[in-house]
Structure 1
């Protein structure tokens, strides 16, 4: 079994036994058409591991805290889908250039208080970023949560993520790319 397959099996086992806040049950997996429609709307491909999570485990509803957002449909607690949140963030950044949203950075999980876990879909390892806008400075709102999506998922499966009560206070490094990757959207 490959590392990829082993990690998917571990995530699936935990996903079947835990429910994030607001999710009464694990949704059915997404189908290939949902992935294709999401990628068409986004204008970029999902990293293989992220697509496999949606295709094999569930269309959201598992993972740390509030869990992964569904790709195209709103979550039961009213949270928008990942694609809708990305497109809204990009549009908002077009209207307010002080808060641009980087290209290819897909919000995948809401932490509450306007904070999101996001996957950099353009990085080879699918870096997971934390968007934390609450201090009010857009240049200080982005952090590297995990060097890869695989590392982020392992931390959840093993109970070692920074969000765990038993975890030490994290020292997250700032993400250096947000302003470089914020080309404006074309005008509607």
Structure 2
């Protein structure tokens, strides 16, 4: 699917959800400033053309406080600061540019890497001893999987790319 097709398909898929209006360019700029990197283009379009949060497999965070509950954190900047500041030796802070995107509950998050143009999807799962790992999915593929029904709310075990030393290492699949 092209980005245009994904944006339109997401818009259609969430038409029955009570979502906030689209974000403003200033909202996107504020998040990019907080993260220190530009937002992947497809994600930018979704926030600017579909809604300021609430779209996706479950409900993506809002860029600003919209008054809607998509997470315990009020917006993406607050969630990013929380994950970036972790200093527990067992749970490392997220790498630079990796930003919380979707709270899946039960200490599981879908994260997105702003440092990659395609927006690589990362999986945060506190129930896995290797808490934060990249997946084989980029944002467009992750969204296409949701639209086609093969990406579910989680866990993302089959898409995780574990480091060689991780005891939970399993073969990942590309989709």
Q: What is the number of residues matched between the two proteins?
A: 159
Q: Which moved more, 1:67-76 or 1:150-159?
A: 67-76
Deviation at 1:45, TM superposition (A): 1.0
> Kindly tell me: are residues 5 and 122 of structure 1, through their superposed partners in 2, closer, same or farther at Cα, counting changes over 3 Å?
same
Deviation at 1:6, TM superposition (A): 1.3
CA contact (8 A) 1:120 1:126 kept: yes
In structure 2, runs of 5+ residues without a counterpart are 164-175
Asked whether 1:149 is paired with 2:139, we answer: yes
Deviation at 1:147, TM superposition (A): 2.0
Q: TM-score, normalised by structure 1?
A: 0.76
Deviation at 1:125, TM superposition (A): 2.1
When the two chains are superposed, the root-mean-square deviation of aligned CA atoms in Å is 2.2
Deviation at 1:175, TM superposition (A): 4.7
Runs of 4+ that moved beyond 3 A = 143-146
How do 1:1-188 and structure 2 match up within 5 A? 3-17=2-16, 19=17, 25-65=18-58, 67-73=59-65, 76-77=68-69, 79-80=72-73, 81-93=75-87, 96-100=88-92, 101-135=94-128, 137=129, 140-163=130-153, 171-176=158-163
Deviation at 1:173, TM superposition (A): 2.9
Alignment deviations for residues 109-150 of structure 1 (CA, whole Å, 9 cap, x no partner): 000011100111112321111100124x3xx11344452100
In structure 1, runs of 5+ residues without a counterpart are 20-24, 177-188
